[in-house]
Structure 1
Amino acid sequence: MTTQTPLVTFSGVQKTYDGEHLVVRDLHLDIEAGEFLSLLGPSGSGKTTTLMMLAGFETPTAGEIRLRGRDITHTPPHKRHFGMVFQNYALFPHMTVADNIAYPLTVRRVRRAEREAKVRRALDMVQMGRMAERYPAQLSGGQQQRVALARALVFDPQLVLMDEPLGALDKQLREHMQIELKALHRQLGITFVYVTRDQSEALTMSDRVAVFNEGVIQQIDRVDRLYEAPVNRFVASFVGDSTTLDARVVEVAGDDAIVALADGTRLRGRNVNGATVGDAVQCCIRPERIAVVAPDQPAPSGNLIEAVLDDTIYFGDHLRLRCRRPQGPEVIVKCPLSQSAPAAGAVVRLHLPAAYLRLYR
């Protein structure tokens, strides 16, 4: 990834379809050469519209898009020379795998010998070399996805755009393809821009993730920072699991704040949005950061709450405890399999480390 001039720059980009409601609002976004950037958000958040504007299938209502400093806001799609992979793959059913992959080269009038060499290379890239003469109907969903990816890569684009390309696959195959896509990205060094609604998919594959909501990027960051340090309530709730408690600020202490829960319990956490004394806040913490304090263990000096264990659920790689408090929402705790869980109905002490408890106005 480079720190020089961005490959793509969105400057003040807006998009409306009806002249009244902005689907994308004042978008400022830099995409670095060679990175894997995911656009993540719920339906209607503006992520797909952003991708379509970058591809050239939609035109911004305002603002501009630049490629290596050159304005491409009104450049038609076929002149941008970007690879594109759609969710439904958009393969030609009457063409063989090889002919589907060769299509972008054919329309660019690439000579036959060069075309055949590039198709062979693209087939090998996605491990489909022995299926060149098959037709799309003879392929599985995962194989069709690979053909669509090979077609997007065959003409050596500087940018590959993907619109939820794994959405139609089953869970196991989708997870396998996530790993393959990331490995292929590292191998090729091409810039990938990937649209998804799946948080785990974005975290697994991306260098950075831009979280969209209501046409605005709420946070764009490295995946580790996005998960560990959400900047607002929306990101904290949308990316990964969070246990959330309602509270009120009783003291501000530097970058931290002390809050009181409804039952009077006091907790210390990171004061993310600058809440002041008296403000109502949400206390958010990842379930795997909550520790169950065993009866024979000394209790930490602070950030301790009590709850009743309602249920223990086995998830294969961890245990999930569902805990109930007299006032407030359910508290979810993720524990390693090596840790034995108390019996249902037991009162458990839970430690919420201040370093991982984040407070949002």
Structure 2
Amino acid sequence: MSSTELVKFAGVQKTYDGSTLVVRDLNLDIQAGEFLSLLGPSGSGKTTTLMMLAGFESPTAGEIFLAGKPITKTPPHKRNFGMVFQNYALFPHMSVADNVAYPLTVRKVPKSERETKVKRALDMVHLGPMGDRFPGQLSGGQQQRVALARALVFNPQLVLMDEPLGALDKQLREHMQIELKELHRKLGLTFVYVTHDQSEALTMSDRVAVFHDGAIQQIDVVTKLYETPVNRFVAGFVGDNTVFNGVVTATTDTRCDVKLSCGALLSGLNVNGAVSSSPVQACIRPERIAVHLGSAKPGENSLEVTVIDVIYFGDHLRLLCSLPGQVEATVKIPLSAHAIPQAGQSVWLHLPPEHLRIYL
């Protein structure tokens, strides 16, 4: 991935009613050639950010730069960006080839050159033989490929995608994720991708910016985002998360001890600078928890729980466990586990302190 900055948001804000900020003081650098996903729930500001970059919305304050030059007042058709939407936005009365050629026609590219570029773009998305068909004759996945070819055909500086796979079924969506990632690798273009699906963002992206309440909570490479969330929101929104509520009893430079309502003590990483007596959440990824079926406590940072249910997920088993005064705890164990606990059974959960993160 290149380290050359292509896009810069500097102090960008957006309000529609003059009082509520949909995007709050956004400072974001997008590197040339990277696949950046904007991830967050509905209303978090991610789509508004994409629309401001595309030029369909104007910032209330701040500036957006492209290759060092301000583009806030540049109209969308002069930004040379490819766009892919969830609803495809194909012209039903035009053939696939004509749909893909449309951006070239608007740019007055000569016909012979148009045909070459359209063929190359359709081949790129594995639709070479389907240029004469109409959108209504294609499946949802094929229509999405046409929309993608249309976004790529004029060699844009930037490709912007707004939940482009949201209308596809799960299997096709996962297949298209891999295809998009491979296409990005081959072309070396800069992709900015909006999604509310955290597994999609983790699968495809070089970096992910997690939005909440109009602000970026964390922007990072996917492994760091998953393994080291910086606050409660990111820990809960990105990936599965098992949470225990408690109160801090002691702290060191990087660690703190937490007492749960049932009296159990846990030690973990003090992420947000919690101090003694602070109410906190102790969070851990469910796959990091070790299950012990014996009656003896397997060392420190262990909790005795009751298994409520064992759920088969195809590639793993998920245990739902109860502990007095806490919400149900989720644990993931591999199908190859030597012993599988049963519902109603008491087991010990060991929570490695290096993977237990304590949040204010």
TM tier relative to shorter chain: over 0.9
Match of 1:358 in 2: 357
Match of 1:3 in 2: 3
Q: Which of 306, 309, 330 in structure 1 is aligned with 2:307?
A: 309
CA apart distance, 1:3: 2.1
Q: What does 1:162-181 align with in structure 2 at a 5 Å threshold? A: 162-181=161-180
Q: What does 1:154-233 align with in structure 2 at a 5 Å threshold? A: 154-233=153-232
The secondary structure found in structure 2 opposite 1:355 is coil
Match of 1:29 in 2: 28
Q: What does 1:272-351 align with in structure 2 at a 5 Å threshold? A: 272-295=271-294, 299-339=297-337, 340-351=339-350
Kindly provide the amino acid, as one letter, of the partner of residue 157 in structure 1: P
CA apart distance, 1:254: 1.7
Structure 1 runs not aligned, ≥5 long: none
Please list the CA deviations of residues 238-293 of structure 1 after superposition, one character each: whole Å capped at 9, or x if unmatched: 11110100011111022010111111111110100000011000001011011101
In the alignment, is the contact (CA less than 8 A) between 2:315 and 2:335 conserved in 1?
yes
CA apart distance, 1:342: 1.5
Tell me the distance in 2 between the aligned counterparts of 1:79 and 1:61: 21
Kindly provide the amino acid, as one letter, of the partner of residue 208 in structure 1: R
CA apart distance, 1:80: 0.2
CA apart distance, 1:301: 2.5
The secondary structure found in structure 1 opposite 2:354 is helix
Q: Aligned-residue CA RMSD in angstroms?
A: 0.9
Match of 1:13 in 2: 12
The secondary structure found in structure 2 opposite 1:123 is helix
In the alignment, is the contact (CA less than 8 A) between 2:36 and 2:209 conserved in 1?
yes
Match of 1:106 in 2: 105
The secondary structure found in structure 1 opposite 2:123 is helix
The secondary structure found in structure 1 opposite 2:23 is strand
Query: Is 1:80 aligned to 2:86, yes or no?
Result: no
Tell me the distance in 2 between the aligned counterparts of 1:300 and 1:224: 29
CA apart distance, 1:190: 0.2
The secondary structure found in structure 2 opposite 1:31 is strand
CA apart distance, 1:158: 1.2
The secondary structure found in structure 2 opposite 1:227 is helix
CA apart distance, 1:25: 0.4
Match of 1:135 in 2: 134
Kindly provide the amino acid, as one letter, of the partner of residue 307 in structure 2: L
Tell me the distance in 1 between the aligned counterparts of 2:217 and 2:302: 31
Kindly provide the amino acid, as one letter, of the partner of residue 321 in structure 2: C
Tell me the distance in 1 between the aligned counterparts of 2:341 and 2:17: 57
In the alignment, is the contact (CA less than 8 A) between 2:261 and 2:324 conserved in 1?
no
Tell me the distance in 2 between the aligned counterparts of 1:292 and 1:101: 54
The secondary structure found in structure 2 opposite 1:236 is helix
In the alignment, is the contact (CA less than 8 A) between 2:298 and 2:348 conserved in 1?
no
The TM-score normalised by the length of structure 2 is 0.98
Tell me the distance in 2 between the aligned counterparts of 1:279 and 1:69: 45
Tell me the distance in 2 between the aligned counterparts of 1:203 and 1:197: 11
CA apart distance, 1:299: 4.5
Kindly provide the amino acid, as one letter, of the partner of residue 3 in structure 1: S
Structure 2 runs not aligned, ≥5 long: none
The secondary structure found in structure 2 opposite 1:194 is strand
Give me the identity figure in percent.
Answer: 70
CA apart distance, 1:343: 1.8
Tell me the distance in 2 between the aligned counterparts of 1:108 and 1:288: 52
Kindly provide the amino acid, as one letter, of the partner of residue 45 in structure 1: S
Tell me the distance in 1 between the aligned counterparts of 2:195 and 2:324: 38
The secondary structure found in structure 2 opposite 1:178 is helix
Tell me the distance in 2 between the aligned counterparts of 1:264 and 1:325: 11
Tell me the distance in 2 between the aligned counterparts of 1:263 and 1:333: 19
Kindly provide the amino acid, as one letter, of the partner of residue 212 in structure 1: F
Tell me the distance in 1 between the aligned counterparts of 2:74 and 2:57: 11
Kindly provide the amino acid, as one letter, of the partner of residue 292 in structure 1: V
The TM-score normalised by the length of structure 1 is 0.98
Kindly provide the amino acid, as one letter, of the partner of residue 312 in structure 2: Y
The secondary structure found in structure 2 opposite 1:268 is strand
Query: Is 1:266 aligned to 2:265, yes or no?
Result: yes
Query: Is 1:147 aligned to 2:146, yes or no?
Result: yes
CA apart distance, 1:326: 2.0
